Structures are given as structure tokens and as C-alpha cells.
Amino acid sequence: MSEQTTPERRVAIVTGGSRGIGRAAAERLASDGFAVVINYAENRTEAQTAVAAIGTAGGQAIAFGADVADETAVSDLFDLAEETYGGVDVVVHAAGVMKLAPLVDTDLGELDRMHRTNVRGTFVVDQQAARRLRSGGAIINFSSSVLGLALPGYSAYAATKGAVEAITLILARELRGRDITVNAVAPGPTATALFLDGKDQETVDRMARMNPLERLGTPEDIAEAVSFLAGPARWVNGQVLRANGGIV
């Protein structure tokens, strides 16, 4: 059975919305008044938990599983959003994968996997967003502050995020006249499973001290930046917002 909303309610798709930064962004946008479509790759149970949490808080959300690099699945994701809520206003593309290793030791299969999800996935999601977003909409991609930090071990991952930034800045200019903004958020070290996986406590503590605030970011910190770009920041366009606590 389809849900219906009032015409005033804006609609957001959040990829990678079942956990981490994506889930925090979905919950924040729901609290801002958006109806939210949570996309997930494999974590159906976690996605449904996120939907339930949004519903308990008085918001509206549904979940849909789709590989962000599969153009047919992503088209179906947008179809569902339009059929359920009447249209799409904001796309937050938070889905991504990260595997760390020095360049000389990087498994090329892992490189290809990151490229498929992080680069092709961004291209596919943004392509549908550019075709379907309503006037006044926003596309919010995800880069990483590691791109500027040039940390050893991050060459493959940072390369994919460099591509995300290029896609973001060019698409903003290609959408001239559409009243649609395109920006990217580039988090610094943030306390998510993606960041913490495989790191010992000494490494985590060292990275937490890299910024002047001397702590890791939280998913909610990053969701705040997403909320800004999705709502009031209509004069911010074609930019990369480095939400990292002040890392130089």
C-alpha cells in the first residue's frame, strides 16, 4: 500500500542510509520534515530498523535495496520514491566502500570494487538525480577529507573520492538554469564502522587528535552539514564542504 504525503512535504533519497553517516543523514532529514527513502545494499534489517526509528519519531520513511552501481536498480529506486511520495527533491549519496593498503600492496580486485561503488555508483545515482529532481532540489555527494591529507594507505580510496569531487563540480555547472544545487561533503575521521574497521586504538586516538577540536567526528556532525546543504544553503553550489573539525 502506498503512502501519500501533503504537497508541501519534500522528499529525500539517502543511499547507504542503513547505518553510519547515511543513517544519521536520513534521520536528520526526516526530523527536518522530509519523507525519506533509505537505500541499502545488503543491510535490510538495519535499513528497516532505521525506518522504524524515523516512524517512532513521527517521520515518514521507507527502505529499498539497490546496488548503486546498477542503473536499472537505481532507476527503480527513483521510481519507488516518485510512486510513493510524488517526486524527489534531495539526493544524499552516502553509499561507499573503503579498503586501505599501500599502493604497492593494493589488491586490484579491491580497487575495482571501490571504483564500481564509489565512482560508477556516484555517476549512476547523480545521472538519475539530474534527470528527475524537482526544481529547488539538491544533490549531495560524499567525498573525504583524506583526499587533501594524502595519508599513506589511502591511495585507492582517495582516488575514487577525487573522481567524486570532479563529478560534483562539473554536474553543478551542467545543471545551469535548473535551480538544483550540487555539492559534496568531505568528512574527516568520523566514528563509524567504516572508519573504525581494522584500526587499533592508538591509530584511532592519533587521528582523533589531528583536528583542533581533538576528537573524532560523529555521524550527527556530518548529518548537520547535509541538512544545511539540503535546506537553507541555496546559494552554496558546486562546492566541497570539508566537515572535519578543522584539519588542515
Q: If you average pLDDT over every residue of the chain, what do you get? A: 94
Largest Cα–Cα distance in the chain?
55
Instruction: Output Rg (C-alpha) for the chain, integer angstroms.
Output: 17
| pLDDT of 227 | 98
Task: Confirm whether 127 is domain-assigned.
Answer: yes
What gap in Å lies between CA 6 and CA 10, rounded to an integer? 9
pTM of the full predicted structure?
Answer: 0.94
Structural domain of residue 59, as residue ranges? 11-241
> 248 in a domain, yes or no?
no
Dihedral sign from CA coordinates of 248, 144, 153, 195:
positive
- 112 in a domain, yes or no? yes
Q: Tell me which residues are annotated as active site.
A: 157
- Is residue 1 in a domain? no
**Gap between the Cα atoms of 129 and 125, Å rounded:** 6
We report the CATH number of the domain holding residue 155 as: 3.40.50.720
Spatial distance between the Cα atoms of 143 and 240, rounded to a whole number of angstroms: 8
Q: What percent of the chain has pLDDT over 90?
A: 90
| Contact by Cβ (8 Å): 21, 222 | yes
CA distances from 225 to 140, 171, 245 (A): 10, 20, 12
Distance, CA of 112 to CA of 118 (rounded, Å): 10
Mean pLDDT across the stretch 74-91?
98
pLDDT at 196: 82
Is residue 5 over pLDDT 50? no
